């Protein structure tokens, strides 16, 4: 090792920062550095000496550059570590991100129900929220001046046109009281086989802890050859077990809807007391969850289907009711108050 | 309908407990909503009788269903027809019943009972009436109500001495007519109302309420007892028009048993003789519009396939027979005649329901349907809406759902000018409350109310949105329904842990951009907005093509003050947009841009321009194709926007990052230098800007 290399090494050992290292490098390898100084001695040497001296200087240069490069790596990683150690994060401070907003429970439940039916090959249909008397009532076998109209408190729409025939859909308009008119709309423009659900807002002239003037329903319809009441039971039991768990008991009991015959109320075992009887199920152990039935032949007649060939079933459920059971919500008004403390829980 | 458990025992011998009977009824379609124990040990069943089961608005009707399910005999009361004249006197007194409107009144029975003594009815009868929710009055009135509960046939007792001309005329009012009803109120009924009249005036509004003038009083000695069949729809219309609902009208509306009209009158007369001392002097039965029973063919194979259960022909016949249906067997089918009290049974399907409900829904198996596969109608709309909600959620926004109802105050709140489309709202005829009388045309007022409510609850930051249908009056026919999306962003400017990235306008604009890019909707344009409720210079209208699709911006301080906001300078940004989802369901053709592997050259340009200069205009100048015939510019992005120190008043500095890349070679600096210089020059000339030092 040359004296030059030795003195370099001595200086290198003393260097502790990348800044000092850069200075050391320029002192040795810079334009006016030690190595350049050494090279200036060349003209004073004999040609014979020159070759050996030149090679020696070159070796020194390579040695110095390599050493600096190597040392620099060590220094940099050491400096990063020191710097990080001097600038620690509080790992318990919250991360920086946008807090996701809340989903509306009605949307969640609606999506869940939709997914289940779509997985069974059901389509999704829609209809207007302001309906004609014909679609909302007449076509569904709810004639004018019939007590069945009392089953749903109806909002009527102010309209300029009077005397027009309700049959043409231009008569009295109502805020639809159920999603069932979508059945008529779809059957009127398509032929069996049919299977679809129709979700949407519905309106009833009623307001208290368990009734809202606006709420959401999902209607379902299946029409094909050889559809039986047993099929209705099978499908709805399967659906409710998917939503509320495989052990939930389900029962159908006779009821009355003008557009189904036979009609059924669908009850499930009370979610809260497991059938022992509580406030929610009024001590009966059962909770009414859906209405359903075989499509009434009068409805098929209204849409031009032959009830000797086709049969079908329809069902309808309230989304808020299902959401309330799932999430333990006892006041339906909470869904529409827009209270973020409520909505952000979902 | 309130039904006494003990009263049911008058007609069936059974030992089942009240709970067991309640279960039997519920599972047969007469839902028992509650059981109430009485002091005397009786139990009241609270029945929810559906509108089709008029026959079950009576104790005997309910007993019939119980007897059918329990397979027990139904025992009906013995009734005299008064043909044996021992208790009949004064046969010569004749009252004439004239039915002028035989469409609205198919049958009218009258019984004259003389010499009654008005007194309280026996205790047991009073108790039965009270437990059914009917107030006892006197023995005559109580007996009419008792028989109404027992058979479901409404009866009315007139004080015969008040009848003028010994004649009862059943007619529809030709013009509005006045009558003072039993409740002492003088009413005018419209033309068409069915009335019961004597020779001079109306005595009663048929089927709805009797008149005060002919009511039974303490002094009454002779009774004219009415039992009739009136048209259901007519009674319903009258009941609605007069806003009078009675136990009678409720039953007539649902159709009473025309064949039971006389039987109920005779039953009441028997009770009156037993408990009011009188004698029957005359029984009149005017039955001009005869009931003809309908025959329905029931194919029992159809029952099996429709219900999906192997129920035998014998069982079908047995069930229908126990329900008092006449059944005749034929080959493979049966011919069924429903009883006159089951007018709801018209079709085969109705019979199948009868069979099913008595057989028991629980005894029918649950079998998944077997359906053939088909391409169903799940439109992109639902997927896109789900995606949209997801992206709004991760942008920090919470979904609200508000009522579709509102009031004209919405327009005042936002200073919506007269003639604006949004004032063209649909009106609700019978709103639940005054502030619910129209349907929304905009979602923004609802979100502002949500904001106000949440601030009142202490919220410092409110990020909310709603996706709902709004309604526009179309003049005639169906209103126009449109789906709108609106979002609101508010923060009270309190301290926060990490710095907020941008001013409020840019945050709401950013939300809109992320929503629209998520929906792959890129062909929109923002223009200066003239919405009065949005702050000048902090608002824009959203255009898709030439159609305004919405707006965004900051709510003016004036509007905010109307919301009682206490902030000095409330920072409320909103946007509202329609046409968020295109109706076009056609399958789009995608062409993917190929990625090029040659390295890019990147250059920046910082320019100081007038405040009025729009950043996107400069972007467009840079992208001007005439300067870049080779299409070397791959992207242009603004990365700095600065006003303040070192920049003259009224001007701002904008800086852009340009990426140049060739599709077929590695670019050299020399390739880009000239182009970049030209671009810089062009930007300066066209904007009057200078390069930032």
CATH number (domain holding residue A124): 3.30.930.10
Taking contacts as CB-CB distances below 8 angstroms, the residues of chain A near B454 are: 338-340
Reference B493, options B610, B398, B577, B572; nearest CA is B572
Q: Are residues A81 and A182 in the same domain?
A: no
Give residue B84's pLDDT band: very low, low, confident or very high (50, 70, 90): low
In terms of CA atoms, which chain A residue is nearest residue B473?
A: A159
Using alpha carbons only, give the angle B609, B611, B613 rounded to the nearest 5 degrees: 65
Structural domain count, chain A:
2
B contact test, residue of A335, A338, A341 with most B CBs within 10 A: A338
pLDDT of residue B520: 78
In terms of CA atoms, which chain B residue is nearest residue A295?
A: B349
In terms of CA atoms, which chain B residue is nearest residue A224?
A: B371
Taking contacts as CB-CB distances below 8 angstroms, the residues of chain A near B393 are: 100-103
B contact test, residue of A261, A332, A335 with most B CBs within 10 A: A261
Average pLDDT of span A204-229:
93
Whole-angstrom distance, CA of residue A275 vs CA of residue A286: 6
Q: Which of B394, B403, B464 sits opposite A336 (nearest CB)?
A: B403
Give pLDDT tens digits for A225-272: 999 999 999 999 999 999 999 999 999 999 999 999 999 999 999 878
Q: Are B153 and B145 in contact (CB under 8 A)?
A: no
Output B433 or B318, whichever has higher pLDDT: B318
SS3 A7: helix
Q: Are A177 and A152 in contact (CB under 8 A)?
A: yes
| B102 located within any domain | yes
Give residue A163's pLDDT band: very low, low, confident or very high (50, 70, 90): very low
Q: Domain with B615 in it: what CATH number?
A: 3.30.70.380
Give pLDDT tens digits for B119-140: 999 999 999 999 999 999 999 9
| A148 located within any domain | no
Give the max Cα distance, chain B: 132
Residue A191, Cα to own-chain centre: how many angstroms? 33
**Strand runs (DSSP E) across B332-456, as ranges?**
333-337, 398-399, 405-406, 438-439
Residue with tokens 């309230």: A318
Average pLDDT of span B432-455:
93
pLDDT of residue B381: 85
Residue B592 exposed, middle or buried by CB count within 10 Å (0-12, 13-18, 19+): exposed
pLDDT of residue B497: 77
Q: Are residues B95 and B56 in the same domain?
A: no
Measured CA to CA in angstroms, residue B412 lies from A206, B447, B533 at distances of 28, 15, 10
Q: How many residues does chain A have?
A: 346
Q: Are residues B384 and B311 in the same domain?
A: no
| B291 located within any domain | no
SS3 B299: strand
Q: Distance between the two ends of chain B, CA-based, in angstroms?
A: 90
Q: Are residues A44 and A80 in the same domain?
A: yes
| B570 located within any domain | yes
The distance of B643 to chain A (nearest Cα, Å) reads 27
pLDDT > 70? residue B243: yes
Whole-angstrom distance, CA of residue B546 vs CA of residue B540: 15
Q: Does A107 touch chain B (CB under 8 A)?
A: yes
Q: Are residues A236 and A324 in the same domain?
A: yes
Phi, psi of B281, deg, nearest 5: -110, -20
Strands B2-4 and A286-295: unpaired
Give pLDDT tens digits for B445-456: 999 999 999 999
Strands B461-472 and B398-399: parallel
pLDDT of residue B571: 83
Phi-psi category of residue B16: left, alpha or beta, with phi > 0 → left and psi -120 to 50 → alpha = beta
Average pLDDT of span B196-217:
94
Measured CA to CA in angstroms, residue B177 lies from A210, B201, B232, B272 at distances of 42, 9, 21, 33
Q: Are residues B521 and B640 in the same domain?
A: no
Residue B37 tokens read as 């124990």
Reference B522, options B504, B540, B544, B500; nearest CA is B544
Say which residues have a Cβ less than 8 Å from residue B332's Cβ, sequence separation at least 6. B299, B300, B301
Q: Could you write out the DSSP letters of every residue in B306-365?
A: HHTS---HHHHHHHHHHTT-EEEE-SSEEEEE--TT-TT--SHHHHHHHHHHHH-GGGS-
Q: Are residues B131 and B252 in the same domain?
A: yes
CB pairs under 8 A between A and B: 257
Contacts of residues A271-276 at CB distance under 8 Å and 24 or more positions apart, as own/partner, are A271/A244, A271/A325, A271/A326, A272/A328, A275/A249
Phi-psi category of residue B27: left, alpha or beta, with phi > 0 → left and psi -120 to 50 → alpha = alpha
In terms of CA atoms, which chain A residue is nearest residue B29?
A: A254
SS3 B121: coil
Q: Are residues A209 and A293 in the same domain?
A: yes
Q: Are B126 and B136 in contact (CB under 8 A)?
A: yes
Residue with tokens 């609605």: B240
Q: Are residues A63 and A117 in the same domain?
A: no
What's the domain range around A50?
Answer: 3-86
pLDDT > 70? residue B567: no
In terms of CA atoms, which chain B residue is nearest residue A104?
A: B399
pLDDT of residue B85: 44
Q: Are B230 and B194 in contact (CB under 8 A)?
A: yes
Q: Are A204 and A154 in contact (CB under 8 A)?
A: yes
Q: Are residues B280 and B325 in the same domain?
A: no
Task: With residue B582 as reference, give the H or E element that holds it.
Answer: none
A contact test, residue of B194, B399, B460 with most A CBs within 10 A: B399
Q: Domain with B6 in it: what CATH number?
A: 3.30.56.10
pLDDT of residue B91: 53
Question: B546, B578, B610 — which closes off a domain?
Answer: B578
CA-CA-CA-CA dihedral for B330, B333, B335, B336, to nearest 10: 140
pLDDT > 70? residue A7: yes
Output B84 or A13, whichever has higher pLDDT: A13
| A97 located within any domain | no
pLDDT > 90? residue B380: no
Q: Are residues A118 and A58 in the same domain?
A: no
Its sign, for the CA torsion B14, B18, B21, B23, is negative
| B592 located within any domain | no
| B370 located within any domain | no
Average pLDDT of span B240-256:
94
Q: Are residues B63 and B90 in the same domain?
A: no
Give pLDDT tens digits for B523-558: 888 998 989 999 988 899 999 888 899 999 999 988
pLDDT > 60? residue A167: no
| A207 located within any domain | yes
Give pLDDT tens digits for B456-515: 998 988 999 999 999 999 887 899 999 999 999 998 877 777 776 567 888 889 889 988
The region of weakest confidence among A333-342, B61-70, B440-449, B497-506 is B497-506
Strands B177-180 and B186-189: antiparallel
If one counts every other C-beta atom within 10 angstroms of the C-beta of residue B167, the result is: 15
Residue B518 tokens read as 């998520």
The distance of A93 to chain B (nearest Cα, Å) reads 9
Strands B31-37 and B96-99: unpaired
If one counts every other C-beta atom within 10 angstroms of the C-beta of residue A87, the result is: 7
CA-CA-CA-CA dihedral for B463, B467, B472, B476, to nearest 10: -160
CB contact under 8 A, B233 and A145: yes
pLDDT > 50? residue B367: yes
The distance of B290 to chain A (nearest Cα, Å) reads 22
Whole-angstrom distance, CA of residue B211 vs CA of residue B184: 8
Q: What is the mean pLDDT of chain A?
A: 89
Output B143 or B612, whichever has higher pLDDT: B143
Whole-angstrom distance, CA of residue B347 vs CA of residue B593: 65
The distance of B542 to chain A (nearest Cα, Å) reads 25
Phi, psi of B188, deg, nearest 5: -115, 125
| A261 located within any domain | yes
pLDDT > 80? residue A101: yes
Output B505 or B188, whichever has higher pLDDT: B188
Q: Are residues A7 and A114 in the same domain?
A: no
Reference B143, options B267, B9, B281, B42; nearest CA is B267
Residue B42 tokens read as 């009786």
Measured CA to CA in angstroms, residue A186 lies from A317, B361, B481 at distances of 19, 29, 18
pLDDT > 90? residue B279: no
Q: Helix and strand tally (H, E) in chain B? A: 18, 30
B contact test, residue of A205, A262, A342 with most B CBs within 10 A: A262
pLDDT of residue A165: 41
| B342 located within any domain | yes
Q: Are residues A76 and A200 in the same domain?
A: no
Question: B328, B363, B398 — which closes off a domain?
Answer: B363
Average pLDDT of span A147-164:
75
Q: Are residues A35 and A81 in the same domain?
A: yes
Residue B286 tokens read as 């005017």
Q: Are B653 and B606 in contact (CB under 8 A)?
A: yes
The distance of A148 to chain B (nearest Cα, Å) reads 6
Question: A55, A86, A117 — which closes off a domain?
Answer: A86
Taking contacts as CB-CB distances below 8 angstroms, the residues of chain A near B361 are: 233, 251-254, 264
Measured CA to CA in angstroms, residue B161 lies from B90, B91, B121, B157, B166 at distances of 15, 17, 22, 12, 9
Residue with tokens 């032949």: A297
If one counts every other C-beta atom within 10 angstroms of the C-beta of residue B312, the result is: 11
Whole-angstrom distance, CA of residue B424 vs CA of residue B473: 6
Q: Which of residues 66-85 of A touch B (CB under 8 A)?
A: none
Q: Are residues B522 and B624 in the same domain?
A: no
In terms of CA atoms, which chain B residue is nearest residue A237?
A: B366
Q: How many residues does chain B have?
A: 693
pLDDT of residue B584: 65
SS3 A130: strand
Q: Are B57 and B254 in contact (CB under 8 A)?
A: yes
Give residue A29's pLDDT band: very low, low, confident or very high (50, 70, 90): confident
Say which residues have a Cβ less than 8 Å from residue B579's Cβ, sequence separation at least 6. B544, B547, B549
Reduced 3-state DSSP string for B596-619: CCCCCEEEEEEEEEECCCCHHHHH
Q: What is the mean pLDDT of chain B?
A: 91
In terms of CA atoms, which chain A residue is nearest residue B367?
A: A234
pLDDT of residue A206: 87
Output B537 or A321, whichever has higher pLDDT: A321
If one counts every other C-beta atom within 10 angstroms of the C-beta of residue A96, the result is: 8
Give residue B87's pLDDT band: very low, low, confident or very high (50, 70, 90): very low
What's the domain range around B461?
Answer: 380-578
Structural domain count, chain B:
5
Q: Are residues A66 and A213 in the same domain?
A: no
pLDDT of residue B583: 66
pLDDT of residue B69: 94
Whole-angstrom distance, CA of residue B532 vs CA of residue B528: 12
Output A33 or A167, whichever has higher pLDDT: A33
Average pLDDT of span B320-349:
94
pLDDT > 60? residue B25: yes
pLDDT > 50? residue A169: no
Residue B344 tokens read as 């709801």
């Amino acid at each position: 090792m040359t004296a030059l290399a030795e003195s370099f090494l001595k200086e290198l050992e003393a260097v502790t920062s990348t800044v000092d290292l850069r200075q050391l490098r320029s002192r040795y390898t810079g334009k006016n550095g030690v190595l350049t100084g050494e090279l200036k001695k060349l003209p004073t040497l004999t040609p014979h000496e020159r070759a050996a001296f030149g090679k020696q200087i070159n070796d020194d240069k390579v040695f110095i550059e390599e050493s600096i490069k190597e040392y620099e790596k060590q220094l940099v990683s050491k400096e990063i570590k020191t710097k990080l150690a001097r600038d620690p994060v509080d790992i318990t401070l919250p991360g920086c991100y946008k807090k996701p907003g809340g989903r509306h429970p009605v949307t969640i439940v609606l999506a869940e129900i939709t997914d289940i039916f779509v997985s069974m090959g059901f389509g999704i249909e829609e209809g207007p929220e302001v309906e004609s008397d014909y679609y909302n009532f007449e076509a569904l076998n709810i004639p004018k001046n019939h007590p069945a109209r009392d089953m749903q408190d109806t909002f009527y729409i102010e309209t300029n046109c009077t005397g027009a025939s309700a049959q043409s859909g231009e008569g009295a308009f109502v805020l639809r009281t159920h999603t069932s008119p979508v059945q008529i709309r779809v059957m009127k423009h398509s032929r069996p086989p049919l299977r679809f659900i129709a979700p949407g807002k519905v309106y009833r002239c009623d307001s208290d802890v368990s009734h809202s003037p606006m709420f959401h329903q999902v209607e379902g319809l299946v029409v094909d050859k050889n559809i039986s009441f047993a099929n209705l039971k099978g499908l709805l039991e399967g659906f409710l077990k998917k939503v509320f768990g495989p052990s939930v008991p389900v029962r159908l009991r006779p009821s009355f809807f003008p557009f189904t015959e036979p009609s059924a109320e669908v009850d499930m075992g009370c979610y809260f007391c497991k059938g022992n009887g509580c406030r929610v199920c009024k001590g009966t152990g059962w909770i009414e969850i859906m209405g359903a039935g075989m499509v009434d032949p009068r409805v098929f007649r209204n849409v031009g289907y032959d009830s000797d060939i086709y049969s079908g079933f329809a069902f309808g459920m309230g989304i808020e009711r299902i959401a309330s059971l799932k999430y333990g919500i006892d006041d339906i008004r909470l869904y529409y108050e827009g209270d973020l403390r409520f909505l952000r829980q979902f | 309908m309130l039904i006494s458990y003990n009263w049911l025992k008058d007609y069936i011998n059974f030992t089942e407990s009240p709970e067991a009977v309640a279960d039997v009824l519920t599972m047969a379609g007469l839902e028992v909503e509650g059981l109430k124990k009485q002091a005397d040990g009786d139990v009241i069943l609270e029945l929810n009788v559906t509108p089709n089961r008029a026959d079950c608005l009576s104790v005997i009707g309910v007993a019939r269903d119980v007897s059918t399910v329990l397979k027990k005999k139904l025992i009906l009361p013995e009734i005299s027809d008064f043909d044996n004249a021992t208790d009949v006197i004064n046969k010569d007194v004749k009252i004439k019943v004239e039915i002028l409107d035989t469409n609205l009144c198919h049958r009218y029975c009258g019984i004259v009972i003389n010499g009654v003594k008005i007194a309280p009815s026996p205790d047991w009868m009073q108790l039965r009436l009270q437990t059914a929710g009917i107030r006892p009055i006197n023995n005559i009135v109580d007996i009419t109500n008792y028989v109404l509960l027992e058979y479901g046939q409404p009866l009315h007792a007139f004080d015969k001495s008040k009848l003028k001309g010994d004649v009862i005329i059943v007619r529809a009012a030709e013009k509005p007519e006045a009558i003072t009803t039993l409740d002492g109120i003088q009413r005018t009924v419209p033309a068409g109302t069915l009335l019961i009249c004597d020779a001079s005036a109306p005595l009663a509004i048929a089927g709805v309420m009797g008149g005060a003038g002919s009511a039974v009083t303490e002094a009454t000695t002779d009774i004219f007892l009415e039992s009739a069949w009136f048209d259901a729809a007519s009674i319903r219309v009258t009941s609605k028009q007069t806003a009078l609902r009675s136990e009678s009208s409720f039953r007539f509306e649902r159709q009473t048993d025309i064949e039971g009209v006389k039987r109920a009158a005779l039953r009441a007369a028997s009770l009156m003789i037993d408990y009011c001392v009188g004698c029957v002097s005359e029984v009149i039965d005017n039955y001009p519009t005869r009931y003809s029973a309908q025959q329905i063919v029931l194919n029992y194979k159809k029952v099996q396939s429709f219900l999906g259960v192997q129920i035998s022909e014998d069982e079908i016949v047995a069930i229908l027979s126990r329900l008092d249906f006449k059944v005749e067997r034929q080959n493979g089918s049966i011919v069924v005649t429903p009883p006159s009290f089951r007018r709801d049974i018209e079709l085969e399907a109705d019979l199948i329901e009868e069979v099913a409900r008595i057989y028991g829904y629980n005894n029918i198996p649950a079998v998944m349907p077997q359906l053939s596969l088909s391409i169903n109608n799940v439109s992109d709309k639902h997927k896109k809406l789900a995606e949209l909600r997801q992206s709004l959620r991760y942008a920090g926004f919470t979904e609200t759902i508000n009522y579709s109802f509102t009031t004209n105050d919405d327009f005042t709140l936002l200073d919506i000018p007269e003639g604006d489309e949004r004032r063209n709202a649909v009106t609700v005829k019978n709103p639940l409350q005054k502030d619910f009388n129209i349907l929304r045309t905009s979602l923004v007022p609802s979100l502002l109310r949500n904001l106000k409510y949440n601030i009142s609850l202490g919220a410092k930051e409110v990020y909310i949105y709603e996706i709902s249908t709004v309604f526009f009056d179309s003049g005639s026919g169906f209103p126009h329904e449109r789906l709108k999306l609106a979002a609101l962003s508010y923060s009270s400017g309190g301290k926060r842990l990490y710095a907020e990235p941008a001013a409020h306008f840019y945050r709401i604009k950013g939300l809109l951009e992320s929503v629209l890019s998520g929906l792959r909707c890129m062909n929109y344009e923002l223009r200066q907005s003239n919405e009065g409720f949005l702050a000048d210079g902090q608002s824009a209208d959203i255009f898709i093509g030439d159609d305004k699709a919405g707006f965004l911006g900051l709510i003016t301080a004036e509007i905010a003050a109307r919301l009682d906001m206490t902030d000095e300078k409330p920072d409320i940004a909103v946007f509202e947009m329609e046409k968020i989802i295109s109706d076009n369901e056609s399958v789009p053709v995608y062409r993917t841009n190929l990625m090029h592997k040659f390295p890019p050259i990147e250059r920046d340009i910082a320019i100081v321009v007038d405040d009025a200069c729009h950043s996107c205009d400069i972007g467009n100048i840079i992208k001007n194709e005439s300067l870049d015939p080779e299409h070397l510019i791959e992207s242009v992005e603004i990365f700095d926007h600065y006003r303040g120190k070192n920049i003259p008043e009224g001007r701002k500095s904008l800086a852009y990052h340009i990426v140049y890349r060739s599709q077929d070679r590695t670019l050299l600096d020399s390739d880009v230098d000239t182009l970049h210089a030209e671009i810089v020059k062009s930007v300066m000339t066209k904007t009057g800007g200078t390069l930032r030092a």
